[in-house]
Amino acid sequence: MISGLPGIVFRLFRTVWRLIDGARRIALNLILLIALLALVAALMQPGPSVPEGAALLVRPAGSLVEQSASEPSFALLAGDGEEETALPGLLEAVRAARDDPRIGLLVLETDDLENAGLSKLGELRDAIADFKAAGKPVLARGERYSQGQYYLASIADEVHLAPDGYALVQGFARYPTYYGKALATLGVKIHTFRVGEYKSAIEPFTRADMSDEDREATRLLLGGLWEHFRKDIVTARKLDAARFDRYVQGYHDVLKAAEGDSARAAQDGGFVDRLSTRGQWYAAIRERLDETGDGEDFRHIAAGNYLSAIRRARVEAPARIAVLVAQGAIIDGEQQPGAIGGDSLARLIREAREDGKVKAVVIRIDSPGGSAWASEIVRNELELTRRIKPVVASMSSVAASGGYWIAAGADEILAEPSTITGSIGVFGMFPEFAEPMGRLGLTVDGVGTGPLAGALDPRQPLSPEAGAALQLSTEHTYRRFLGIVAQARKMKPEDVDRIARGRVWRGAEAVEIGLVDRLGGLDAALAAAAGRASLKNYTVTWPTPQLPPMRRVLQQLLAMEDAAAPSPASQFVGRFSADIKVLMSWNDPRHVYAHCLCDAP
């Protein structure tokens, strides 16, 4: 027994600790209780119903993604501010509304849409175009249009813009931040090992400017994507191509002619049909619906509610096609939705393969690549699966480098015309911090039992033997990559090498050179999988990696705070943080990567 002053201090410490521990338990129990109550409340509410003669309201928010990183069942905890919108749900809703006699109009509002790849917007535009082809009108409005927002809105029959808004169509650009000089100033050495002169993913960390090879490839890529973008808008808006170019290339003169009024300039240029306040916008919708009223009320159902209603009424077929989403960077190990964990995605593929109800698998890829090790783990599971049931790869905005490595495990590959793919190449990168540590007076010393023992310690200079080993490993992985693609595409390795070497291709080009079988989106991939499995009636399922329940709750609670519109300064900091995050996430056990470090416009 402790007595005296030490005993008093001990008892005081024990009491404080018990109070802290009790408070922690109460807080966690309250969090769990709130989550359970929210779920119960959601389950007790009657499902949404579809009004007769209603408009389908499509209002995508945040980033347009293949699969939300959030749990849908906890969405109400985050309030109204959604940070992600899943593209497949929107496509399903619009496709169903096309043939639904209760839906007579589609209302598209783009103000909350922040980020979306060109191919994703293209798929949504195609679905809306099919809706229009059924004889149903589409109205779109934005307070102001970013380039992506306008591309989506341009498919509408009638495009509205706020009287003080603008339509920003400026072209595509790629301007990476180069850290090579800064790292050299700090004394950080980045040892690189690569195969392929177009494999530019490591250049931001080793150079101060863009290489000639990367500049050439980027110019061709962006030029092709811009032509696709331009053609879609010119066709949808029935614009003369010269008029479109005059608006984009000579915007100063266009704006000057409109006396600085950007909304009027957009209307004069043929980019929008009407300038409308919110009140006028809702009045125009009610006029189309042939109903009276005022304010913001009109007969409608939001896309998410409509999706819930039609799914609730649907009779599921016993046969299933599993759509597995490979979204984000490819990282070794277990990862939650939003990143591709080699082990977690491989497990989902294995479960789909062993599930007798699943008759085919679609792997939906939206990834610039990452760990070569993890990519091969996933591809191998797809290879095993296709021996038992069909596997179709559906490329979204980006399916390059490691993303293409995964696709090579499928029976058939489909891509959008604007998909960024290819980048067949590998690199190794190893940072060395010996010099900056030495400046701080920090030294490393010790012994090892072999020349490579401790060689991959970033605190020490990289030995020539270790550097040579990494280069040999990189070259071997590239030959392995070529062999995998050659076998999958029935080509010779030397023919693959000519279109590889890190070169990035658009989906339309990838079909021409044999890397992709045909053009098509998710619907086309599902139809291809169903055809290969001889299915006429089937249910589509979307298996996802499961996080522990408490971690899911905490994840949602952390997402409850609404994000403000980013300032230019915060965008710079965010871009810097994102680059560093990418660098820190590279965890391939051999330090060899298949990553294109390319962003979809």
User: So which residues are the catalytic ones?
Assistant: 199, 401
Instruction: Please report the sign of the dihedral spanned by the C-alpha atoms of residue 23, residue 26, residue 29, residue 34.
Output: negative
What type of residue is 278? Answer: R
Nearest to 204 by CA among 183, 173, 222: 183
The answer to whether 151 and 172 have CB atoms below 8 angstroms apart is no
- Separation of alpha carbons 50 and 328, rounded Å: 35
Q: What is the 3-state secondary structure (H, E, C) of 79-107?
A: CCCCCEEEHHHHHHHHHHHHCCCCEEEEE
Task: Give the residue among 448, 501, 429 at the shortest CA–CA distance from 188.
Answer: 429
* Six-digit token string for 442: 């920090």
Between the CA of residue 378 and those of 113, 344, 451, 543, what are the distances in Å?
32, 9, 33, 15
CB 266 within 8 A of CB 272: yes
**Cα–Cα distance for residue pair 506/157, rounded to 1 Å:** 29
The CA-atom distances, in angstroms, between 167 and each of 158, 174, 229, 241 are: 15, 21, 15, 17
Helix locations, 399-521, DSSP H: 402-407, 434-439, 464-489, 493-499, 507-513
Question: In terms of Cα–Cα distance, which of 218, 139, 119 is closest to 175?
Answer: 218
CA distances from 527 to 324, 384, 535 (A): 15, 22, 9
Closest to 199 in 3D by CA, of 474, 514, 595, 471: 595
Q: Are 255 and 159 in contact (CB under 8 A)?
A: no
Q: Which of 407, 403, 408 is nearest to 423 (CA)?
A: 403
Closest CA to 148 of 94, 98, 175, 112: 112
Q: How far is CA 402 from CA 261, 330, 465, in A?
A: 46, 7, 27
**Can you tell me the distance from the alpha carbon of 416 to that of 394, in angstroms, rounded to the nearest whole number?**
9
**Beta strands 189-195 and 426-432, pairing class:** antiparallel
Q: Which residues pair with 327 in a beta bridge?
A: 366
Alpha-carbon gap, residue 216 to 223, rounded angstroms: 11
Contact 455, 466 (CB under 8 A): yes
Phi-psi region of 239 (alpha: psi -120 to 50; beta: other; left: phi over 0): beta
